[in-house]
A and B are shown apart, each in its own frame.
Chain A
Amino acid sequence: MQAAQILINALVLGCLYACIAIGFSLVWGVLNVINLIHGSFIVLGAYLAFGLYNALHIPPWYAVIVAAPLFFVLGYLLQRLVLNRVITAPVLVTLTLTFGLDLILNNAMIYFFKADYRKLTLTPSLGSVSIFDVVVPVDRLIATAAALALTGLLYLLLRRSRIGRAIVAVRLDRDAAVLMGVNVPSIYAIAFGLGAALAGCAGVLMALIFPISPLTSSAYLGKAFVVCVLGGLGSVSGALAGGLLLALVEGVGSTFLGPSHATTLSFVLLIIFLVLRPQGLVGRKGFE
């Protein structure tokens, strides 16, 4: 029974990890930008959920509807006005730029919200459901469902819509896309906006689960990074596969080797993947 519990824990956690990573994966895959501001976007989304719930009693699953357009606009403008200026520069330049932007956003949050840890506590609390002896918290189930829905929506968007096809085209071959009449700067901005919107939504959902503080942004960013390397860039399912693998390794490692080795194990796995399978679990060659 304990094995079933650990498996369920890992499945649910894996979907949360995927939710954290998916926007990061999109931006990295399409723009080739390692977006270090991603973690702070998630935290900002969590504060939005916290504020909306405490001020207006809007629960996080509705707050997603507010967060998505808000963060899309924020990301779109950031890419259009700032990042586009250096988008063709080597990856280190965009890395440094997003690092600087992250410092600004993170310290602004510390200034305005303070570094104190807060918690979005729903009243009445959602509780947990138990099937036989296996317990699953409802808030995690909601976040899992939302993560799957967001992943599905992104998949459909990239597959079925004109904008989605343009994003994929730019990702596959920027120059050919230009020749086909794709407005590349605009596609970049849309992709970055989508990444930001996904981060914002992830933050809203994470507010149900994790304590909220600007200091947690690096933890989210670290997980997103590992998930992307494990799962692979260039496909939506990569984030999901990476998230599930990471959560499984952490859960099993924690049970058999002790929780302090769970992180060690996940980073050993990261190194193994970087050496042996740099394109990740489901990534395509050329996107590593």
Chain B
Amino acid sequence: MNQSWVARRVRRSFPLSAAVLALGAQLSAASAEDVIRFGAPLPITGALAPEAVKQQQGYDLWAEQANKAGGVSVGGKKYKVQIVYTDYQSNTPRAVQATEQMISQDNVNFMFGAFGSGAAKAASTVSEKYKVPTLAATASSSQVYDQGYKYLFGTFTPNDTLTTPLTKIIKTKVPDVKKVAILARNDLFPLAIAQEMEKSAKAEGYEVVYSEKYSIGTLDHSAALSQIKSLAPQWIFVTGYTNDLLLVRKQMVDQQMKAPVVTMIAGPAYQEFIDALGPAAENVSSAAWWHPAEQYDGKDIFGTTANFVKLFKAKYNSEPDYGQASAALCGALFQIAIEKAGSLDRDKVRDELAKLDVVTFFGPVKFGANGQINSLDPPVFQIQGGKPVVLFPQAIKQGDLKIGVN
């Protein structure tokens, strides 16, 4: 009885539901034609969640701007932009799966790389297999680009481009510096930067009196800092993420440690670092791939650096950092390459990306033969008066290095 009632209902409603389904299919077919889909695997949950949020902000800002301008024009026709996000839960093997799924099932046209060097490298094997052009926004290690891949491009220069200019500035401005102490978080990127720093320091003839790493999740640095203090280095160089560097800096103040030069990577590039430390952030130097104080007049959708910063502030009510800017840049670069190619053909877009030579709000963009950007001079900066001041490159310099961190 019950069953026949159900059967009747189904029979009666069948033509209607069939019509709805058909209409839906038609609609989605129509929208699929006018939309370019970009896949973005991100660690939206888990330990790297805050970084994912930042990258997402960059992509979303670009998509919003591109769509506001009517979309990306491909051979005279405007296409809307859609970004497909997948959460890989801060788990690299899942990033690989997510990339595979986006390409083979979600039918994305192009890919953004996973977060950081490790996951971006792992996921790039999949996009290379399917020949999908991929722009990695936050992969700096040269090991990501030495695989001979043709479809992978990245917007961060190698790690040594951060430490070399910094060392040169210190060498000329602070001749008293003889001894360097390096404390690094035992994690892919912070460790790589510390290793580059050690090389740069030795190349300049400095004595590296302390070079140690601390493990992820360390709650106390007092033992390491006491040891560094007893060695009396003139330059203290610490790598890690915001939480580590806040704690290290606080404990340095606690232990009354003073040095002519204190450098921290990557915390000072973030506004939250300056806000949280207050006066203790003063004169801490750093380097990053991009800084909102830069002044480029770009040919991309954002135009000038100032315009990008303004749009970002209007949308998110905070100052953009290099991660957010790089993500937005990746979108803008895809737009340029697609419009130049005049087609959504993956190989044509790939060739346009490889040929790019354009000034953007992020700086000049040109990819090397391995796919990694080689046209940027990452800025060196220092916190002065609660604000980051660019010391290098010369073209966008805002001030001189101040000596002494108390």
Contacts and interface: CB of A to CB of B under 8 A. Distances in A.
Contact of A259 (B218, B243, B250): B218
A102 interface: no
B222 A260 contact: no
Contacts of B222: 6, 9, 13, 251
B230 interface: yes
Nearest to A116: B272
A96 interface: no
A9 B254 CA distance: 11
Chain A contact residues (Cβ within 8 angstroms of B): what range?
A: 35 or more
A249 to B, nearest CB: 11
Contacts of A128: 254-256
B256 A258 contact: no
B227 interface: yes
B223 A262 contact: yes
A78 interface: no
B242 interface: yes
A119 to B, nearest CB: 4
Contacts of B272: 116-118
A251 B230 CA distance: 15
Given A258-B213, A259-B215, A215 B278 contact: no
Contacts of A258: 212-213
Interface string A108-149: 001000011111010101001010000101011000000000
Contacts of B50: 115-116, 215
A187 B254 CA distance: 42
Nearest to B257: A135
B219 A259 contact: no
A217 to B, nearest CB: 11
A125 B47 CA distance: 31
A51 interface: no
A138 to B, nearest CB: 9
A115 B54 CA distance: 11
Given A110-B49, A260-B186, A210 B219 contact: yes
Contacts of B246: 117, 119, 211
B306 interface: no
Interface string B248-270: 00110111100000000000000
Chain B contact residues (Cβ within 8 angstroms of A): what range?
A: 35 or more
Interface in A241-287: 247, 250-252, 254-255, 258-260, 262-264
B277 A140 contact: no
B31 interface: no
Contact of B212 (A13, A110, A135, A259): A259
B226 interface: yes
Contacts of A117: 242-243, 246, 272-273, 276
A250 to B, nearest CB: 7
A153 B212 CA distance: 41
A125 B253 CA distance: 10
Contacts of B213: 258-260
B212 A260 contact: yes
B214 A121 contact: no
Contacts of A264: 215
Nearest to B230: A2
B49 A115 contact: yes
A169 B175 CA distance: 69
Given A13-B222, A119-B276, A260-B186, A2 B227 contact: yes
B117 to A, nearest CB: 20
A125 B224 CA distance: 23
A223 B219 contact: yes
B226 A9 contact: yes
B53 interface: yes
B218 A137 contact: no
A152 interface: no
Contacts of B227: 2, 255
A5 interface: yes
4 tightest Cβ-Cβ pairs between the two chains A and B: A119-B276, A137-B254, A254-B223, A9-B222
Interface of B: 47, 49-50, 53, 183, 186, 212-215, 217-224, 226-227, 230, 242-243, 246-247, 250-251, 253-256, 272-273, 275-278, 280
Given A6-B222, A128-B254, A263-B215, 4 more contacts: A117-B246, A135-B255, A258-B213, A264-B215
5 contacts: A118-B276, A135-B254, A211-B246, A211-B276, A260-B212
